[in-house]
Amino acid sequence: MKFLLYTVIIVVGLMQGCMTNPVTGRKSLDLVPASEMQSMSYTEYGTFLSSHKLSSNEEQSAMVTRVGTRIQKAVEAYMTQNKKSKNLNGFKWEFHLVEDPTVNAWCMPGGKVVVYTGIMPLIKNETDLAVVLGHEIAHAIANHGAERMSEGMVQQLGGVALSVAMSNKPAQTRALFAQAYNAGTQVGIMLPYSRLHESEADHMGLIFMSIAGYNPDEAINFWEGMKAASGGKGPNDLLSTHPSDDKRIADIKSWLPEVKQKYYKP
């Protein structure tokens, strides 16, 4: 059965689409065109914002916009330098701090970012926020949600074309999107990203924060703090329940010399 599933994934992947990570070069299954992902993202983002209250803390809200915009400029600079600016076609960046006690943040396709007030007590300064936003924005730049959604489509909808799925099974398609982005306001399911995706987002986030002028060494302290804060909490992109927090920190330490040398110009 597993063999059959993998065969289907490979065949469908070859027939319909693959994407290459703009930073790591890894190839992944991608059945959902970026324009479709963005259009679903913009709808879900609007729904999320209309059912949540924006933070009334002007100072913190301004910090989210300021740091988010610096990471955005860094991503744009990286993409221009590497001749991959078309990966950002259709992006409509937005940054909001919402009232919600959950320790969380995410970025949906097209640069739609939300930070929850629940994470702010763990943010000591702008650099900590740059670690979070670099990581979350990296998930979007790497199209991790599209990859999760593509795998979900193969498993749950038999890998049918998205246009067919959307017209025949709109509820399932929407649920898959929500699950893929942990933005499950309708279904209430929060899935942690896989270890591979986490690792990619950590590495890319380190590069983006460095280009934005934040010292990437600070990422170590931040993740140490998150590790200490994560005891017993539910699955969540930032407070992971992975037993691999030490691996994450060790990986970041191993990437730092190269990242700093290539991208950090204080």
Interface with Zn ion: number of residues (CB under 5 A): 4
127 versus 240: smaller Cβ distance to Zn ion: 240
- Give the helix ranges, DSSP H, for 158-240: 162-168, 170-180, 195-211, 218-229
Residue 52 contacts residue 100 (beta carbons within 8 Å): yes
Segment near Zn ion (CB under 5 A); pick from 60-68, 88-96, 194-202, 227-235: 194-202
Would you tell me the crossing angle of helices 195-211 and 144-157 to the nearest 10 degrees?
Answer: 160
Could you tell me the CA-to-CA distances from 10 to 154, 218, 235, 265 in Å, in that order?
A: 10, 40, 29, 42
Q: Least distance in Å: CB of 201 to Zn ion?
A: 5
Map tokens 């059959």 to a residue: 4
Can residue 201 be called a binding residue for Zn ion (CB under 5 A)?
Answer: yes
**Window 164 to 193, contacts with Zn ion (CB under 5 A):** 193
Residue 218 among the catalytic residues: no
120 versus 191: smaller Cβ distance to Zn ion: 191
96 versus 148: smaller Cβ distance to Zn ion: 148
Residue 68 contacts residue 93 (beta carbons within 8 Å): yes
Alpha carbon distance 95, 178 (integer Å) = 19
The DSSP bridge partners found for residue 114 are: 96, 106
70 versus 148: smaller Cβ distance to Zn ion: 148
Of the listed 44, 94, 136, 200, which one is catalytic?
136
Sign of the dihedral defined by the CA atoms of residues 135, 137, 142, 147, in that order = positive
165 versus 203: smaller Cβ distance to Zn ion: 203
Q: Least distance in Å: CB of 27 to Zn ion?
A: 20
Residue 150 contacts residue 32 (beta carbons within 8 Å): yes
Residue nearest to Zn ion according to CB distances in the complex: 237
Can residue 131 be called a binding residue for Zn ion (CB under 5 A)?
Answer: no
Using CB under 5 A as the criterion, what x/- string covers residues 213-242 for binding Zn ion? ------------------------x-----
Q: Least distance in Å: CB of 172 to Zn ion?
A: 24
Q: Could you give the residue numbers annotated as active site?
A: 136
Residues forming contacts to Zn ion in the complex (CB under 5 A) are 193, 198, 201, 237
